[in-house]
Structure 1
Amino acid sequence: MPATSKLHAADLGTDVSRSNSPARILTLVHHHGSLSRAQLTRLTGLNRSTVSVLIAALTAQGLVYEAAPEGEAQVGRPSPQVHPNPAIAALAVNPEIDAVTIGLVGLGGRVLTKVRYPTERIPTAAEAVNIAAAVIAGMRGELDAKYRVVGVGVAVPGLVTAVDGVVRHAPHLDWRNEPVAAMLAAATGYRVRAANDASLAAEAEMMFGAGAGIANLVYLNGGASGIGGGIIADGRLLKGVSGYAGEIGHTLVRSDGTSCHCGAFGCLETEVRRAPLLEALALDAGEPAELVRALGGSADPAVTAEVHRQVAHLATALRNAVNIFNPEAVVLDGFLAALYAAAPEQLLAAVTAQSMREPGSEVTIHPAALGADLMMVGAAELAFAALLADPAGFPGEAGVS
């Protein structure tokens, strides 16, 4: 978790008004993990008595709690620390080509439980929903006894309509026009929202990871299903008309490249892929950290050549993103983070050299920080959104929001 003294980009971009001050307090505490009353007074611009009243109201609802600050004894009367209550939780679901992962995330962004359910083949939408519903049903006794669940967020590797949670096209899952949010809501009784996995991951990194404190960033994730992306502009996720924005994986990087499932040629995700790296290293699919170690320890010229080839194409895509969005940072995840670790100087030099001088000189490149918990944290944010926007309305009714 980032230092609590650092204002998060998500807080800079919030549109919560002073008239909804409980939402401002709860959102700040959720994003930072804990804040003192003094810090909340400074960050909100409210007076101390108002902040105290708001904290008392949120405490009465069981959304936050106060505790004495940890560490060495302080001179004078220390300001109590306000913490999010982790018993207020969200369920998270992430369907993939070889598994469905279900997690429980507490308020404050910490993953409490995670179950990865492998599948023998690519699951259909109905199968993924049934798997998630069955796992959630198995957790129900503990959930009802120990937690207050605000809902379910689903992170899908594909195009998802934001307003209704319909998966319009998830090419690697072969899903089209699947009402996943409505299906899972009917199966579980919880409020369910769904969105693109990479966009949710971008928000999670902005709130809790490598992008904390950065209001303008580009996030790219590389996995078995291809490359997804998300754009944070002025502290907010750039969504587009229907929530489809951020598909940097379909940026043109090679005019004579191979055909892509999207109908174009030479897309980033057809030229920069995990499979050739694993093949060159004689590795089975593994965690990104394993790929980082393997690439770092290889002296095979064929591996080096493949890394340099892919880094060159990745640099072309990032050059376009830097020129268009003028980000402060690029955050790379999955096998893209392994590529960066294998040739960091080459990637940054190529991006800087190809970009316009001014935006190119301002951008930095970082690996993602949340690791294997990223999709769970991102999906949970969907479920927490209604609570953070209106704490007074908690708990909400079950169903699709």
Structure 2
Amino acid sequence: MALITAMLHHHRVLSRAQITRRTGLNRSTVGTLIGQLVALGLAYESAPSGEAQVGRPSPEVRPSPSTAALAVYPEIDAVTIGLVSLGGRIQKKIRFPTERIPSATEAVNIAAAVIEGMRSELDTSYRITGAGMAVPGLVNQADGIVRHAPHLGWRNEPVARMLAEATGYACHAANDASLAAEAELLFGAGAGRENLIYLNGGASGIGGGVIAGGTLLRGASGYAGELGHTFVRTAGNSCHCGATGCLETEVSQSRLFELAGLAGGDAAELEHALRHAGSPEVAREVERQLEYLGTALRNAVNIFNPEVIILDGFLGILHSLSPGTLENLVRSGAMAGPAAEARIYRAALGADLMMIGAAELAFAQFLADPASAGPLPAAPVSAAARSGAPAST
């Protein structure tokens, strides 16, 4: 049951015939297990969509949207709270802007208040497996303590315990970029790959995650993947980590906003402004930042030998503004073998990425033992949720 539930979660829809082939189980066993999942309200079947095969068409099986997880993402100017159902489907997303950088206590209180406002809907329409928090900083995933989130100003904050006490749901916390790497591996540009590097650039700096052999590299305490602190410039600027010349001090979103003439905004606004700037100064800055980003990627390619490099946030914008530049920098600087294998893509999940990644934390224990799931919700979820219609924000 755990195997089939995880397959449905990751693939979103599979026919009975596909499940039989992928698991190696016989048809009667698959039929029995699917029947049990349907009875538990964890899956449902629908008419086949026309899969080409000999004989009677095989029904399609989908994960039930009534099983969901809560996701929380604190940033320097907002706290975003999401409801994500099995299959990585966003059912609801609420961004709560803040007038200043929220403290850990403020971020937890905001999330708890928003979740409390959703309580009636959650209690009647969803089976909640828990909550996950994606934090831009060093997080010990084993205990959910944020050791250092420099852009948020958090140190040694037990945010997982704080959120659990405030909401009553089991909570887990981890580094945002590592969670995003897993989300892109499962549902985005890295789907079907086993070795990838993910890099995200935003207001909170540059974070990364590394997938090797299909497994996220966590390190001794869950701090692995801090590629934003890769050394790229000898005479570089000082970084908050105490070093100089780190990638995130030389490749900066704030500088791009400044040159684009924007006081702030989101990635879409920045990209539009940069594309229409027509300024030599903007072109030089984009070239300069790509040069340092290429240096970091060259080192990462030599060390990890990835199939895919996924760039998100303003890093994805830099890549799209000068197609082929990063590929040329990597090929000219890295060893020939790993450089020839690496492909560079822009992240595919967009604004939903952190919600999907954080939700995976809350789904992990459930997917390992779906039969232990709690009772079915008292009322079915809406038709829109079942069909995967766009969520409200």
TM-score (norm 1): 0.92
> Hey, what's the Cα distance between the residues in 2 that align with 1:286 and 1:47?
54
In the TM superposition, 1:228-247 aligns within 5 A as 228-247=207-226
Shift, 1:344, TM fit: 1.9
> Hey, what's the Cα distance between the residues in 1 that align with 2:257 and 2:50?
46
Query: Equivalent residue for 1:301?
Result: 280
Query: Equivalent residue for 2:181?
Result: 202
1:279 aligned partner, one-letter code:
E
Choose which of 175, 187, 197 in structure 2 pairs with 1:218.
Answer: 197
Choose which of 10, 14, 17 in structure 2 pairs with 1:38.
Answer: 17
> Hey, what's the Cα distance between the residues in 1 that align with 2:374 and 2:334?
48
Shift, 1:193, TM fit: 0.5
Query: Equivalent residue for 1:24?
Result: 3
Shift, 1:71, TM fit: 4.8
In the TM superposition, 1:1-400 aligns within 5 A as 22-71=1-50, 76-395=55-374
1:251 aligned partner, one-letter code:
T
1:306 aligned partner, one-letter code:
E
Shift, 1:281, TM fit: 1.0
Q: Which runs of 4+ in 1 moved over 3 A?
A: 71-76
2:163 aligned partner, one-letter code:
L
Paired-residue identity, %: 66
> Hey, what's the Cα distance between the residues in 2 that align with 1:215 and 1:291?
32
Query: Equivalent residue for 1:399?
Result: none
> Hey, what's the Cα distance between the residues in 2 that align with 1:73 and 1:357?
42
Give the stretch that moved more between structures: 130-139 or 53-62. 53-62
Shift, 1:73, TM fit: 9.2
- Secondary structure of the residue aligned to 2:49 is coil
Shift, 1:309, TM fit: 0.2
> Hey, what's the Cα distance between the residues in 1 that align with 2:362 and 2:38?
20
Shift, 1:255, TM fit: 1.1
1:26 aligned partner, one-letter code:
T
Contact residue 51 and residue 57 of structure 2 kept, 8 A: no
> Hey, what's the Cα distance between the residues in 2 that align with 1:54 and 1:330?
37
Shift, 1:38, TM fit: 0.9
> Hey, what's the Cα distance between the residues in 2 that align with 1:157 and 1:380?
16
> Hey, what's the Cα distance between the residues in 2 that align with 1:89 and 1:72?
28
**Residue 71 to residue 270, structure 1, CA distance change in 2 (3 Å):** same
2:222 aligned partner, one-letter code:
G
**Residue 296 to residue 191, structure 1, CA distance change in 2 (3 Å):** same
> Hey, what's the Cα distance between the residues in 1 that align with 2:191 and 2:51?
26
Provide structure 1 residue ranges, at least 5 long, that are not aligned to the other structure.
1-21, 397-401
Provide structure 2 residue ranges, at least 5 long, that are not aligned to the other structure.
376-393
Q: Residue by residue, what CA displacement relative to the aligned partner does 1:168-215 show, whole Å, maximum 9, x if unpaired?
A: 110101101101000110011001000000000000000000110111
Shift, 1:53, TM fit: 1.4
TM-score (norm 2): 0.93
Shift, 1:392, TM fit: 1.7
Query: Equivalent residue for 1:3?
Result: none
> Hey, what's the Cα distance between the residues in 2 that align with 1:204 and 1:371?
11
Q: Please provide the CA RMSD for this pair.
A: 1.3
- Secondary structure of the residue aligned to 2:219 is coil
> Hey, what's the Cα distance between the residues in 1 that align with 2:33 and 2:120?
32
- Secondary structure of the residue aligned to 2:324 is helix
> Hey, what's the Cα distance between the residues in 2 that align with 1:322 and 1:45?
36
Contact residue 237 and residue 245 of structure 2 kept, 8 A: yes
Shift, 1:70, TM fit: 2.4
> Hey, what's the Cα distance between the residues in 2 that align with 1:229 and 1:368?
13
Q: Residue by residue, what CA displacement relative to the aligned partner does 1:250-277 show, whole Å, maximum 9, x if unpaired?
A: 0000011011011111000000000111
Contact residue 217 and residue 231 of structure 1 kept, 8 A: yes
Shift, 1:130, TM fit: 0.4
Shift, 1:348, TM fit: 1.0
Query: Equivalent residue for 2:384?
Result: none
